[in-house]
């Protein structure tokens, strides 16, 4: 990140700290708890938020070289992203057009030779999803047009090392999103992070018994750090103020470490912000790109089978090729990170989910000091009410 931008953000933090305030939303929001429990809303979210809009799928390094691929599940839709021989990414539904088996078997891999065979009856496909062969079928599919039995293609966009896929249901139409506006004004910040140079070191996926928005909510305010995390990270971060900026639907949210005060003694030209912050970009609707001093973490949160289930994937990436030593270091970092979320944040959210399902309360209140929460839920309202 350019020095000028770092100083802009640092000075904003200092001004808030000096005046003992924080970035404030215009007004408090009353949040209906049915947003986390309603089966009807869950169906609407699947249809309008998780189908037909571009979703963050991974970093470009997940399929860095021609023939590399990665697979993911976009709220139930199995997807594979492959880098073609021309260096461009393709996204396809990872399902065989014969009888629906998953074709690309692994989360990450590399295609060698002529292509890949479906495990069910060994139809084979090339890296672009074209059907190559149907062994032992003889006359079985004679009247079918082979050209129409290729894997279904999805729109994919690669920008500043970020990969987005538009999961479209069959026959569905997209929201008409212009891929150029996906990141809003966060384009420059994200370009500066050189995300294309990072490589995956380790990953964790878990299914949790709470609504996907309750998982996101915990990342969109730092107000809870001094309290919920008092035994872990609490002493090392400011709970308030933090650095907050909204760019259309994208949010920048930086948690500031307490030891930043040592940096403030230096003249401005010698100061750096990045070693003292966890720089977090929330990519609406369900992903976070987190820059820590020497690595990147990504979070993807999807709704599960119902409103009370979510699927959370956390990835950790290092700069350049990952040596054994780097992997050991990064895995340790990932364990520390998920140690905090999975033993402090998520159990808190799961208890809240149980309580609201039991009818404990009709609403929550989001304070003006929690602008990220207000912003996120206003965007959900906007998406659900836009035809």
Q: Which does 370 bind (CB under 5 to 8 A by kind): ligand FES, Fe ion, none?
A: none
Candidates 11-19, 119-127, 139-147, 311-319 — which segment interacts with ligand FES by CB under 6 A? 119-127
Our CA angle for 283, 195, 192, nearest 5°, is 90
**Residue of 108, 121, 224, 271 interacting with ligand FES (CB under 6 A):** 121
Cα separation, 22 vs 243, in Å, equals: 8
Q: Which does 266 bind (CB under 5 to 8 A by kind): ligand FES, Fe ion, none?
A: none
**Residue of 29, 98, 159, 375 interacting with ligand FES (CB under 6 A):** 98
Q: Which does 345 bind (CB under 5 to 8 A by kind): ligand FES, Fe ion, none?
A: Fe ion
Within its chain, how far is the Cα of 1 from the centroid? 21
Cα separation, 377 vs 175, in Å, equals: 19
Supply the minimum distance, in Å, between the C-beta of residue 206 and Fe ion.
16
Whole-Å CA distances, 18 to 15, 31, 130, 237, 275: 5, 31, 61, 16, 21
Q: Which does 130 bind (CB under 5 to 8 A by kind): ligand FES, Fe ion, none?
A: none
x-marked contacts with Fe ion along 297-336 as a string, rule CB under 5 A = ----------------------------------------
Does residue number 253 form part of the binding site for ligand FES (CB under 6 A)?
Answer: no
Cα separation, 380 vs 301, in Å, equals: 15
Candidates 83-91, 96-104, 211-219, 319-327 — which segment interacts with ligand FES by CB under 6 A? 96-104
Within its chain, how far is the Cα of 376 from the centroid? 14
Residues 54-73 that bind ligand FES (CB under 6 A): none
**Residue of 158, 189, 217, 345 interacting with Fe ion (CB under 5 A):** 345
DSSP for residue 320: S
User: 3-state SS of the chain: helix, strand, coil percent to 5?
Assistant: 30, 30, 40
Does residue number 123 form part of the binding site for ligand FES (CB under 6 A)?
Answer: yes
DSSP for residue 276: G
Nearer to ligand FES, 118 or 243 (CB): 118
Supply the minimum distance, in Å, between the C-beta of residue 57 and ligand FES.
23
Does residue number 94 form part of the binding site for ligand FES (CB under 6 A)?
Answer: no
**If you write DSSP's letter for every residue of 184-237 in order, what string do you get?**
GGGHHHHHHTTGGGEEEEEEEEEEESS-HHHHHHTTS--TTHHHHTTTTTGGGB
Cα separation, 179 vs 156, in Å, equals: 9
Q: Which does 99 bind (CB under 5 to 8 A by kind): ligand FES, Fe ion, none?
A: ligand FES
Does residue number 319 form part of the binding site for ligand FES (CB under 6 A)?
Answer: no
Count CB atoms within 10 A of the CB of residue 284: 22
* Site for Fe ion, rule CB under 5 A: 345
């Amino acid at each position: 990140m350019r020095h000028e931008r770092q100083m802009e953000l640092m000075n904003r933090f200092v001004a808030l700290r000096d005046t003992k305030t924080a970035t404030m939303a215009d007004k408090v929001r009353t949040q209906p708890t049915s947003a986390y429990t309603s089966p009807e809303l869950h169906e609407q979210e699947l249809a309008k938020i998780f189908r037909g809009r571009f979703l963050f799928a991974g970093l470009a390094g997940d399929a860095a070289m021609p023939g590399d691929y990665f697979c993911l599940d976009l709220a139930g839709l199995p997807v594979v992203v492959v880098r073609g021989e021309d260096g461009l990414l393709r996204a396809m539904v990872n399902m065989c057009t014969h009888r629906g088996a998953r074709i690309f078997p692994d989360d990450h891999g590399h295609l060698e030779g002529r292509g890949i065979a479906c495990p069910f009856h060994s139809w084979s496909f090339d890296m672009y999803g074209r059907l190559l062969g149907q062994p032992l079928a003889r006359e079985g599919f004679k009247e079918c047009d082979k050209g129409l039995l290729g894997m279904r293609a999805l729109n994919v966009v690669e920008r500043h090392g970020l990969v987005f896929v538009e999961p479209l249901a069959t026959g569905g139409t997209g929201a008409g999103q212009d891929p150029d506006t996906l990141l809003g004004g966060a384009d420059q910040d994200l370009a500066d992070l050189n995300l294309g140079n990072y490589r995956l070191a380790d990953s964790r996926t878990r299914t949790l018994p709470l609504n996907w928005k309750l998982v996101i909510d915990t990342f969109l305010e730092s107000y809870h750090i001094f309290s919920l995390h008092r035994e872990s990270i609490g002493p090392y971060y400011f709970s308030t103020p933090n650095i907050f900026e909204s760019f259309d639907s994208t949010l920048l949210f930086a948690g500031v470490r307490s030891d930043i005060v040592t940096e403030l003694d230096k003249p401005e030209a010698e100061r750096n912000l990045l070693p003292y912050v966890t720089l977090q970009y929330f990519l609406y609707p369900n992903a976070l790109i987190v820059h820590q001093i020497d690595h990147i973490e990504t979070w993807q949160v999807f709704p599960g089978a119902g409103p009370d289930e979510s699927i959370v994937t956390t990835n950790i990436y290092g700069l350049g090729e990952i040596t054994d030593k780097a992997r050991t270091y990064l895995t340790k970092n990932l364990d520390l990170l998920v140690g905090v979320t999975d033993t402090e944040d998520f159990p808190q959210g799961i208890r809240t989910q149980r309580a609201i399902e039991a009818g404990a309360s009709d609403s929550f209140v989001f304070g003006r000091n929690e602008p990220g929460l207000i912003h996120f839920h206003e965007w959900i309202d906007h998406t659900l009410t836009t035809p």
